Structure 1
Amino acid sequence: MSAPALVPPRPRRPANGISRPLRVFAWLSFLAEVLIIGTGGAVRLTGSGLGCPTWPRCTAESIVPTPEMGIHGVIEFGNRTLTGLVGILALAVVLLIVLRTGGRKALTASLWFAAGGILGAAAVLALGVALDFPAGPLANGVLLAAVIAAAVRSVRTTPARRDLVLLAWLVLIGVVAQALVGGITVLTGLNPFIVGFHYVVSVVLVCVTAAFLARMNRPELPRESAVPVWLRWTARGAVAALVVTIVFGILTTGAGPHSGDAAAGRSGFDAELLEHVHAWPSYALFALTIALFVGAWRQRDRTPLLARWSIVLLGAEVVQIAVGLFQARNGLPILAVGVHMVLAALTAAAMTAVVLHLTRPVTDSPILDVRAASDARAGVGA
């Protein structure tokens, strides 16, 4: 009897139809958003905020820093350059998810919008050079409008995984908008409130990229609460406390010594008082997170990912509190302040993951089969 023919194993299909390149770029986009918070903090903490005194050029005569500008120009220009990388990664995620959910037709439409936005921005810049007026903000606005228009069309015409498509576009819109906010920050001489808003948008983008990572591992299905009512309200309270903590942390920094440049103004608030006000909601956040962890751990058999992420969130807050106390008692050393800024963003990302794992799929939903069929037609299996 002849030996049975060997049948090569079928290649394993990626979970939920999400390809490996998309997963890689999604993680790179998240890491880049965190990294640029660190480099942006370095710009501020080293007094390099006006290392490039104008925008979008580094100087009125040069796109890149000149040797006379020293290390401050290099640091500021390096942060601006990283913005380009962040944008490229965000665009890659958009194109990959659009291709996966809408096919080549949707991808082509997105590329046409991108080309139109780039050409429009280039035309505005050329007009600015010809007429000798600062066209950078207007060109950025044209590009932003094109991205928003492309996003609206893409989300409305996507047959499946609109959640991922929307999140991907939000990141790209945010990156383009951040470039404009960064330019306004420079043009206003590092206004502390605009600098603070710049940081808030960065944290939001970290949360959106974290949400994309969490949601790409599950199908787009109706969901229901997986936790008791008290635990849901505890999580909501923790989110509110985190928002207040970050806002007062920004105000505290805006009143402190790290303005980004010796010539930059401060907010005028009492920095010492704000340090205490900033600490109060952080302690409330820590207490609520402990309660959240206890509740999640008690039902870890039903919601294991919620339990794991609550541990991550609690650990991040422990480290963050320790760093905060250290910097407050040691004269705000630059490295500690920078770590504190990055940890705040990572804490927000962990909180995002916790909130997204408070629910579970509704497996007996009457529209489950319809959604699954739609996903299958789009090449995104549930």
Structure 2
Amino acid sequence: MTAVLDRTQRATERYARIAAWASLVVNMLIVVTGGLVRLTGSGLGCPTWPECQSGSLVPHGDLTIHKAIEFSNRMVTPLITIVVVATLVATWRMAQRRYALWILGGVVAQAVLGGITVRIKLNPWIVSAHLMLSMVMIAAAVALVVSLYHRLEKPELLGWAQFVTAFVVLALGTVVTGAGPHAGDADVKRNGLSALQTAQLHTDAVFLLVGLATALAVLRRSRATYALLAALVVNAAIGFTQYFTHLPVGLVAAHMLGATLVAATSTWALLEPREFRVRATDPA
């Protein structure tokens, strides 16, 4: 009987881990697909919500590329819902279900916020909030994944400092986007701020984050901190390149993918179990 219970528990844990990883992947995916909607000017390809067009949940009439892109992005939401519900079912008897509940709540909030975004014609501040909520959901998904492998411990002050700074960097990135040319539709107004000045502020915050992440990596010498540093360096390189090459769509999309990796690795570095941390003062 004990052996059967052990096998059942192991199977439950295995399914929960698979579901948690799937939740992380789909929440990163929708950031990229949402970015492609904005970058291709397809933000109002479906001009209303929850319908795509008046009287229809799906596009009808001439199927333009903008309609197809916006509708395809909307179809990612049901996929995320299915995955997150499956994750909640898989973790229901575990303490970790709270993270799945947070992600599910985020899915509901994103659906409402997405509808508001369309109805008020892509206001850049609401678009920014829409993106930042996805980053929070990514963080919750990482917390779920880590908690299914290890017991979470109280993070130290430096871990919190880099995590908070990472999300400040991400938020400032959305402000830069709101001041830039990729509005999601040709007629959408921008946030009225200087793209140059907001980009400089964003860059300053990135330098601060790199400093904090470097200090954390020197202190711990761990996989999570190295992964965070790698994500920051690569995404910063993409960010500088896109700025000086006048924001080509491909690079901006890559930068958005990099932003999801920064959110994920920053959360991982925050929650990394102490057993994987090698202190700089410890013998090699």
Pick one of 218, 232, 237 that aligns with 2:161.
237
The superposition leaves residues 49-87 of structure 1 with CA deviations (integer Å, 9 ceiling, x where unpaired) of 000000001111221112424010010000101100001
- What residue is the counterpart of 1:332 in the other structure? 247
User: 2:206 and 2:75 mapped to 1: Cα distance?
Assistant: 34
- What residue is the counterpart of 1:170 in the other structure? 102
Partners of 1:18 and 1:216 within 8 A in 2: no
- What residue is the counterpart of 1:61 in the other structure? 55
User: 1:323 and 1:69 mapped to 2: Cα distance?
Assistant: 33
Matched, 1:285 2:209: yes
Letter in 2 for 1:172: L
Pick one of 13, 24, 41 that aligns with 2:35.
41
- What residue is the counterpart of 1:294 in the other structure? 218
User: 2:128 and 2:77 mapped to 1: Cα distance?
Assistant: 18
Partners of 2:117 and 2:127 within 8 A in 1: yes
- What residue is the counterpart of 1:134 in the other structure? none
Matched, 1:193 2:125: yes
User: 1:289 and 1:213 mapped to 2: Cα distance?
Assistant: 21
Q: Give the unaligned 5+ runs of structure 1.
A: 1-8, 102-160, 226-231, 298-306, 361-382
Partners of 1:45 and 1:259 within 8 A in 2: yes
User: 1:243 and 1:23 mapped to 2: Cα distance?
Assistant: 25
Q: How many residues align?
A: 273
* Shift in Å, 1:247: 1.4
Change (3 A) 1:272 1:14: farther
The DSSP-based 3-state class of the residue aligned with 1:56 is: coil
User: 1:27 and 1:289 mapped to 2: Cα distance?
Assistant: 24
The DSSP-based 3-state class of the residue aligned with 2:62 is: helix
The DSSP-based 3-state class of the residue aligned with 1:68 is: coil
- What residue is the counterpart of 1:211 in the other structure? 143
Change (3 A) 1:14 1:315: farther
Partners of 1:16 and 1:217 within 8 A in 2: no
The DSSP-based 3-state class of the residue aligned with 1:36 is: helix
The superposition leaves residues 136-181 of structure 1 with CA deviations (integer Å, 9 ceiling, x where unpaired) of xxxxxxxxxxxxxxxxxxxxxxxxx43x111011111110110110
User: 1:287 and 1:71 mapped to 2: Cα distance?
Assistant: 43
Q: Give the unaligned 5+ runs of structure 2.
A: 276-284
Matched, 1:78 2:72: yes
- What residue is the counterpart of 1:246 in the other structure? 170
Change (3 A) 1:237 1:219: closer
Change (3 A) 1:18 1:332: same
Question: Under a length normalisation based on structure 2, what TM-score does the superposition of the two structures give?
Answer: 0.91
Letter in 1 for 2:20: A
Change (3 A) 1:270 1:15: farther
Partners of 1:16 and 1:219 within 8 A in 2: no
* Shift in Å, 1:40: 0.3
